[in-house]
Chain A
């Protein structure tokens, strides 16, 4: 199958072609990247929604309920197509993975307006997989209106989702006791919408109170806002105040309010110009990462054999500092291995 073929077939709605392209992107296959390059002009239309939170708080169940709601809005609104990207961890020891998020998404089976893909992290540490950004772009080009990205069960530093998604939903559950204090600090910062799931369980009130307290201290802070664009004066630009919602994902209760909050965040992003700012930051990060990889590759190809190892030896011998060695490597001062 040629790159040309992929692009045409995916735009025509062929699901098998899409699934195969996703595999190639995951594997870093050059043909996959050629196809994505062809599809890229068709991206930028989907609302990218990240769902993150500690393991076992009900992220998959929430994604299932949300996706059902996108498909069957209660008030006769237009149903929206949904893609789900569910990330689970790869074992650092064997490279294997159990991808179990589909277990909670069985309600979505049989609906051609839904596409679910499970991904293993394959060594990436930020809560997403290495190729998640590219997989999102392919699904966006394929025309899915909402893309729900479920991260691995997150602790404090798995916050890559904040730059990959437009709207980040952080899910917590009651019953985590004092540990909530420790867990929430890292994740709370990236929450555009905060969910206390399983709020029918005892302890929900305490969790809610703790989270409200944290948010109260944080207000009013506008993270990443670009107040100079869209002609809005900083003073009358709307401010997004992170809402706290309590759906019971398993029963579907409270899901309409959650979807409404997610949609209003999108409206807020567009109205304030923050959406453009986010897109710019994301594209810049992707370019930078690609450039770094390409330059590294180019340097390795051009550098004399053994230059890197020679530098390494001298750093290990503590003759030169690592960053000084980098300067010398870039300047070509390790042309030959030292005797």
Chain B
């Protein structure tokens, strides 16, 4: 049996809109992945800990609060510190265009704003774990 891709979908920060995260979680499920959905208001520490216990391949984060440039480096740093630098991280939500190259430089494998087709997200996740 082919090993299913395991993805953690989380919403760090304080905004309460998880519609996008749920749509992405559902799309990844329909693409045959095992999606661990952790819900709203997760701290970077909670996300890193869940990623470790669940031994995921990919972490998807939804951020609409504008705090991505603070949250992302922290989450990536925690993942690295616990020996999970192989975990790929992608991002959705409201991210200004000028931040995208900076995020890519940090190691984020994709930034998916509103209107992105779920098929694009699925393909990007598959590509990232190859």
Chain A residues engaging chain B, CB cutoff 8 angstroms: 15-16, 19-20, 22-23, 27-28, 90-91, 94-100, 102-103, 106, 109-110, 115-118, 120, 122
Q: Which B residues fall within an 8 A CB radius of A?
A: 1, 3-4, 6, 25-26, 28-39, 42-43, 45-46, 49-50, 52-55, 82-84
Contacts of B84 in A (CB 8 A): 16
Check if A98 sits within 8 Å of B82, measured CB to CB: no
A98 touches B29 (CB 8 A): yes
Query: Which of B35, B43, B55 meets A96, CB within 8 Å?
Result: B35
Q: A16-B84, A109-B49 are in contact. Are A96 and B32 (CB under 8 A)?
A: yes
Q: Which of A22, A27, A115 contacts B3 (CB 8 A)?
A: A27
Most chain A CB atoms below 10 A, which of B34, B39, B83: B34
Interface residue SS majority, chain B: mixed
Across the interface, do B54 and A117 meet the contact criterion of CB distance under 8 Å?
A: yes
Chain A residues contacting B26 (CB-CB under 8 Å) are 98
Name the B residues within 8 Å of A117 (CB-CB).
Answer: 53-54
Which B residues are CB-close (under 8 A) to A115? 53
Closest partner residue, chain A, to B45 (CB atom): A110
Q: What is the distance, in angstroms, from A16's C-beta to the closest C-beta of chain B?
A: 5
Q: Out of B28, B31, B32, B54, which one reaches A19, CB within 8 Å?
A: B54
Nearest CB of chain B from residue A286's CB, rounded to whole Å: 20
- Are A102's CB and B34's CB within 8 A? no
Contact call A103/B38, Cβ cutoff below 8 A: yes
Q: A96-B32, A103-B38 are in contact. Are A15 and B54 (CB under 8 A)?
A: no
Tell me whether A102 and B36 are in contact (CB under 8 A). yes
